[in-house]
Amino acid sequence: MSGNAREPRLDTTGRWIGAALPRKEDGRMLRGAGRFVADLDRQGTLHACFVRSPFGAATIAGIDASEALRLPGVRQVCTAAELGSAGLCAALERDEFVPTTMPLLAADQVRYAGEPVAVVLADDPYAAEDGAEAVQVDYSPHPAVADLGAARDGRSVHDALAQNTFVDLTMFDDPRLDQIFDTAPLVLDEEFSSARLAALPMEGRGCLAEWDARDDQVVVHISTQVPHQVRSAIAQALRLPERTIRVIAPDVGGGFGLKCVVGREEVVAAALASRFRTPVKWIEDRQENLTASFHGHEQHYAVRAAFGSDGRILGLAADIRCDVGAYSAFPFTCAVEPLMATTELPGAYKVPAYRARGRAIATNKPPTAPYRGVSRPQLVLVMERLMEIAATRLALDPLEVRRRNLISPGEFPYTGVNDITYDEGSYRESLDRAESTARSAGWYTERDRLRAAGTPAGIGFACFSERTAYGTPTMSQRQMAMTPGYDTAQVRMDPTGEVIVTTGTCGHGQGHETTFAQIVAERLGIHPDQVRLRQGDTDLAAYGWGTFASRSIVIGGTSARRAADGVAAQLRRIAAHLLEADDSDVELNEGMARVRGVPGAVLPIAELANTAYFRAHELPQDTPPNLTASGYADPPSTFSNASHAALISVDPGTGAVRIHRYLVVEDCGVVINPLVVDGQVRGGVAQGIAAALYERLLYDADAQPGTASLMDYLAPTATEVCTVDIEHLQTPSQFNESGAKGMGEGGTIGAPATVLNAVNDALADTGSQLNDIPVLPEKVLTALRRERVPVGG
Amino acid sequence: MKDQHLVSLTVNGAEHEIVVEARRTLADVLRHDLGYTGTHLGCEHGICGACTVLLDDQPVRACLVFGVQADGCQIRTVEGLADESELSDLQQAFSDHHGLQCGFCTPGFLMLAEAYLAESDSTADPGQVRTAMASNLCRCTGYQGIVDAVCAVAKQRGKAGSP
């Protein structure tokens, strides 16, 4: 790597920001001492198994549980009638949005195969499954709406929806567009699509709900990214005060957005634990996870784009339809995909005129959650394919076309046609670096060598920015009934000078216990080993919004930084008082408080802490007798950016795509821990490769799932993913004082476009163009055969 | 009547005698009857490998083995890798190379890697390690840290490296 001034480094102001510390989480995970929800056993637990609809669309004439109740170990069978709750309603306060309710259990109608209609409680999970098999449900199936095409055929998923449309938004409707399309030198009309995906955390969903008679509370241990929203959902669905519910996320085995919405199974478990005053445990199995949880990313784009002869984009219009399944998930609603897509499609490019229509279309499939990237993998794919196609049509270098359109140095902060203001990024620099590395590392030579040997090979690029850390100024534009965005933290220093931080964010693999400790230790002048993060417990932490949308380090981390600054100010004041100096002259570093310029005027921070608690009478006047401070943050948002590149080859016999080299040049502002950043990038790229080449949830015309196991749903293994080289740029955010930008999703966002462009480069001679993901071997093979059989004879 | 069987098995050197239902998986026996919750269940149909344990030194999916089949066997689980306070070289390498994020698949990968490294013909060659690690699924890391960690330990343990 070059000696670019923006290379990540130890922040010169301290020791911990930017340090590649090994993770505090690792020890327990490596010993098998992590505590995931399925690991929790309670005396007298009743195990829940849900009876699920085998039909995509049916009415329920009756449910007979008598046989199930005769089985050994089966204790209860409950249906919608016994639960007495309307269910979960996620709403937008927009006229274009039609609110619907997701019942906790289907009462008279099922809307997807896998929808729960009853729950069996038994002494062990085996007996519960026996019971679920024995429950007789009398269904009258009717034709299902299996896809976007069928959604226009007159059948209805919900009576309340016209043309199965949950929401239909037209944004940024520029009146000049029609004239631009009439007169532009190049107008492209292209369609793009992406398959329905499963987020597929290795730990599925699950919960253990137990009644705590001492505290008069139901305590819900749950694998979630959003504990406070789970509490609010349970409170709203069961009409309980939030005080009577405590939600605790133990170790969470991945989420990727699947666990930032609230499932009805978890609300049912809480309801039954409250009613029967006994622990109720539900652990989702993989079949349920694939067929009955939340999906995402099933989108179709019809795009018209105008370009000048120099490759500059002149106008863009998009019609975006998202197949969001049968219900609107709490709290984000099913509008999260079309809203994101319509608002952010222009991305890193200067689009002078823009119009987008975005729709959320109901089908008889499971509802969708905001799976990693949320519409950005698709919209980046659209923009990056448009740049490539325009360059081909105009006989220009596709990277040069991108450069002519990218928001460039000197133009930040840039406010786009979509009313979004972008803080400074390194869009062009990242692209230049990606190209120069690919050239200097011999990618083009390797591509030519492969081609000469008869193997189709290609190089693909993608350049994009990623809006992260959406605060309420941004989230409120969605007009959700509950607006997420801010977060909170509290820092408490104990009498020995060590610290507990609580936050409303809720990490699940991102290493927050380490990175938050680095942030707080930096501000307090102590060691990260002296800082413990407590998260995921609604009785411990103030209300916060959890971990999703690459928000935690920017919003939670800034909250923690501000809280730590509050405690640091208290420490300085105590030190100044004891050392007879001015607060502003006291520095906190390496566990000591020192008066600047006065050798020997020094006290250990632990001694100040001891004084604050045990000798409070020695504190200066008006200083509170402990060391506690709170902080919150609510930034607008901030943009990280990256350029990706891939070198791929295609097996001419099978059509299989092999990735030889993969490069990411990323810029997430100030890096807290480069190990964690690299891990997020690499894991994200693997999920993006999965979306580009392997994964899709299949449904037939009756909306029956065809991918109910990991033998059918092809998550990539180590041999489908290659080494990912990473280069870093560091443009600090101008929108928050930490300078950090979120970076949890960029890998997943950039990889589908990169791989698809590389495949198209490999197929360039065939005249075929692939715009849909996943690019399965049969599609590649069809394209290759077109080359061999000349069209038109 | 439940079909119950008396089963004797040794886990990480400790002997256990328990009565289990015939259909109860080894994974559930280990996790819920004996308390070895480090062995995780990710799919319960033998694909993801999160539940990989060593059964008489061979890696098996504990979700595909019934508890009764382990009668008389020696089992090793993730809890048996570390020496009291010290992580094993393999565990330490996973941390050093950031081979874990959420940690859910980690015990399975550790046991898979432990079995791989015990094979006489295993090497530190990244291609061979990658192929061996392709038995299991991880959704967080993109596998690179896992492959790097296993290669590093193979080298430390004197295995042949890549040319």
DSSP A193-236: EE--EE---SS--EEEEEEETTTTEEEEEE--S-HHHHHHHHHH
A700-734 residue pLDDT tens: 999 999 999 999 999 999 999 999 999 999 999 99
Interatomic CA distance for residues A730 and A226, integer angstroms: 29
Is there a contact between A202 and B48 (Cβ–Cβ < 8 Å)? yes
Q: Does B21 sit within 8 Å of A31, measured CB to CB?
A: no
Percent of chain A scoring above 70 in pLDDT: 97
Q: Are the beta carbons of A281 and A221 closer than 8 angstroms?
A: no
- A684 touches B at CB < 8 Å: yes
What does the pLDDT look like over A596-612, one tens digit per residue?
A: 999 999 999 999 999 99
Contact: A39, B31; criterion CB under 8 Å = yes
- Claim to verify: residue B14 and residue B73 sit in the same structural domain: yes
Q: Angle at the Cα of A609 (from A604 to A613), degrees rounded to 5? A: 150
CATH at residue B62: 3.10.20.30
Q: Quickly tell me which residue has 């991102």 as its tokens.
A: A510
Please tell me the predicted confidence (pLDDT) of residue A7: 40
Give CA–CA dist A593/A475, Å, rounded.
41
CB contact under 8 A, A286 and B130: no
Do residues A258 and A293 make contact, with C-beta atoms less than 8 angstroms apart? yes
Q: pLDDT, tens digit, for every residue of B65-102?
A: 999 999 999 999 999 999 878 999 999 999 999 999 99
Number of compact structural domains in chain B:
2
Across the beta sheet with A109-110, the strand order is A109-110, A58-64, A136-141
If 0-12 CB within 10 Å is exposed, 13-18 middle and 19+ buried, where does residue B26 land?
Answer: buried
Residue A527, min C-alpha distance to chain B (Å): 19
Q: Show residues of chain A in contact with B104, CB under 8 Å.
A: 34, 36, 201-203, 251, 253-254
| Mean pLDDT of the region A549-554 | 95
Bridge partners, residue A281, by sequence? A47, A208
Residue B138 lies inside a defined structural domain of this protein: yes
Q: Does the distance separating the beta carbons of B104 and A201 come in below 8 Å? A: yes
Residues B98, B75, single domain; the answer is no
Give the pair of three-digit tokens for residue A628.
């506690």
- pLDDT at residue A11 tops 80: no
Residue B51 within a domain: yes
C-alpha span between A66 and A76 (Å, rounded): 10
The predicted structure's pLDDT at residue B1? 58
A43 touching B (Cβ < 8 Å): no
Q: State yes or no: cis peptide before A604, omega within 30 of 0.
A: no
Q: Which residue of A has its CA nearest to B30?
A: A39
The answer to whether B94 contacts A26, with C-beta atoms less than 8 Å apart, is: yes
Interface of B with A in 104-123 (CB under 8 A): 104-107, 110
Number of residues in chain B = 163
- Do β-strands A724-729 and A58-64 pair in parallel, antiparallel, or remain unpaired? unpaired
* SS3 label, residue A286: helix
Specify whether B140 is located in the same domain as B111: yes
The pLDDT of residue A480 is 87
* Number of A–B residue contacts, CB under 8 Å: 169
With contacts defined as CB-CB under 8 Å, which chain B residues touch A30? 78, 81-82, 87, 91, 94-95, 100, 103, 106, 110
Count other C-beta atoms under 10 Å from residue A702's C-beta: 14
Q: Which chain A residues contact residue B134 at CB under 8 A? A: 717-719
**pLDDT per position as a tens digit, A151-184:** 999 899 999 999 999 999 999 999 999 999 999 9
Tokens of A387: 């740049």
In a 3-state reduction of DSSP, which class is residue B138?
coil
Q: What is the pLDDT of residue A2?
A: 36
A88, with CB counted inside 10 A (0-12, 13-18, 19+), is buried
Mean pLDDT over A225-237 rounds to 97
At A430, give phi and psi (nearest 5°): -65, -40
State the pLDDT confidence band at A102, using cuts at 50, 70 and 90: very high
Is the same domain home to B44 and B99?
no
On whether residue B161 sits in a domain, the answer given is no
Given an 8 Å threshold on Cβ–Cβ distance, is B139 in contact with A715? Answer: yes
**Which CATH number fits the domain that encloses residue B140?**
1.10.150.120
* Cβ–Cβ gap A686/B37 under 8 Å: no
Averaged pLDDT for residues A226-244: 97
The structure tokens listed for A643 are 């350029």
Sort out which chain B residues have CB atoms less than 8 A from A510's CB and list them.
101
Query: What whole-number distance in Å separates Cα of residue A681 and Cα of residue A726?
Result: 8
Among B14, B130, B26, B53, CA closest to A32 = B53
Q: What integer pLDDT is reported at residue A5 of this predicted model?
A: 37
B93 and B72, same domain (yes or no):
no
pLDDT (0 to 100) of residue A10 = 37
Radius of gyration, alpha carbons of chain A: 27
Give me the residues of chain B with pLDDT under 70, please.
Answer: 1, 162-163
> A453 at the B interface (CB within 8 A)?
no
Q: What is the pLDDT of residue B6?
A: 97
Say if B131 is an interface residue toward chain A (CB within 8 Å): yes
* Mean per-residue pLDDT over chain A, rounded: 95
Backbone angles phi, psi at A690, to 5 degrees: -55, -45
Helix (H, G, I), strand (E, B) or coil at B66: strand
DSSP A115-170: -EEEEEEESSHHHHHHHHHH-EEEEEE-----STTGGGSS--SSTT-GGGEEEEEE
DSSP state for residue A740 in the 8-state scheme: B
β A245-248/A280-283 pair status: unpaired
Strand pairing class (A313-325; A299-307): antiparallel
Q: Confirm if A111 and A57 have CB atoms less than 8 A apart.
A: yes
Q: What integer best gives the mean pLDDT of chain B?
A: 96
Mean pLDDT of A210-234: 97
- Asked if residue B35 is part of any domain, the answer here is yes
State which residues form the domain around B76. Answer: 4-80
Flag whether residue A251 sits within 8 Å of chain B, measured between CB atoms.
Answer: yes
Going by pLDDT thresholds of 50, 70 and 90, the confidence category of residue A14 is low
DSSP state, residue A326: S
- Inform me whether the C-beta atom of residue B41 falls under 8 Å from chain A C-beta atoms: yes
CB contact under 8 A, A683 and B96: no
H-helix or E-strand containing A647? Answer: strand A638-650
How far B101 CA lies from chain A's nearest CA (Å)?
4
**Range A221-245 burial, b when 16+ CB lie within 10 A, else e:** bbbbbbbbbbbbbbbbbbebeeebb
The tens digit of pLDDT for each residue in A738-766 reads: 999 999 999 999 999 999 999 999 999 99
B141/A41 touch (CB, cutoff 8 Å), yes or no: no
Q: Taking residues A72-85, what's their average pLDDT?
A: 94
B162 assigned to some structural domain: no
B101/A41 CB distance under 8 A: no
Would you list the domain boundaries of chain A? 406-469+639-793, 482-633
Asked if residue A462 has pLDDT above 70, the reply is yes
Q: Indicate the pLDDT class of residue A478, thresholds 50, 70 and 90.
A: confident
Out of B21, B38, B133, name the one closest to residue A718 (CB): B133
* pLDDT score recorded for residue B83: 85
A615-626 confidence digits (pLDDT tens): 999 998 888 889
CB contact under 8 A, B137 and A39: no
A406-469+639-793 with A482-633: one CATH topology? yes
Q: How far is B129 from chain A (nearest CA, A)?
A: 9
Q: Is ipTM strictly over 0.95?
A: yes
Strands (E), A308-423: 313-325, 354-362, 414-415, 421-422
Instruction: Give the mutation candidate from A23, A31, A658, A725 for the B interface (greatest B CB count, under 10 A).
Output: A31
The verdict on B20 and B41 lying in the same domain is yes
Span of A389-393, A405-409, A491-495, B2-6 with lowest mean pLDDT: B2-6
Cβ atoms of B93 and B130 within 8 Å: the answer is: no
Structure tokens, B66: 């019934």
B113 and B141 in a single domain? The answer is yes
Residue A6 has pLDDT above 60, yes or no: no
| Fold (CATH) for A406-469+639-793 | Aldehyde Oxidoreductase; domain 4 (3.30.365)
- Cα separations in angstroms, A642 against A19, A188, A207, A663, A750: 21, 26, 37, 10, 8
Does residue B128 lie in a domain region?
yes
Q: Are residues B73 and B10 part of one domain?
A: yes
Closest CA relative to residue B9, chosen from B54, B75, B63? B75
Are residues A499 and A485 in contact, defined by beta-carbon separation less than 8 angstroms? no
> Where among B37, B53, B80 does a domain terminate?
B80
Q: Which residues pair with A603 in a beta bridge?
A: A593
Within an 8 Å CB–CB cutoff, is residue B30 touching chain A?
no
User: Are residue B72 and residue B98 in the same domain, yes or no?
Assistant: no
pLDDT band at A357; cut points 50, 70, 90: very high
Question: Model-level pTM?
Answer: 0.96
- Contact (CB, 8 A) for A296 and A257: yes
Residue A792 has pLDDT above 50, yes or no: no
Indicate the fold that domain A482-633 takes in CATH: Aldehyde Oxidoreductase; domain 4 (3.30.365)
- A651 φ/ψ angles, rounded to the nearest 5 degrees: -75, 115
State residue A15's pLDDT score. 86
pLDDT of residue B162: 53
pLDDT of A326 over the 80 cut: yes
- The tokens 């280069």 sit on which residue? A727
- Asked whether residue B62 is assigned to any structural domain, the reply reads yes
Rounded-to-integer distance, Cα B101 and Cα A683, Å: 9
Model confidence at A9, in pLDDT bands (50, 70, 90)? very low
Chain B, 70 to 99: residues with Cβ < 8 Å from chain A are 77-79, 81-82, 87, 91, 94-96, 98
Give the residue from B48, B63, B80 where a domain finishes: B80
| Burial per residue of A378-389, b for 16 or more beta-carbon CB atoms within 10 angstroms, e otherwise | bbbbbbbbbbbb
Of B58, B80, B102, the residue at which a domain comes to its end is: B80
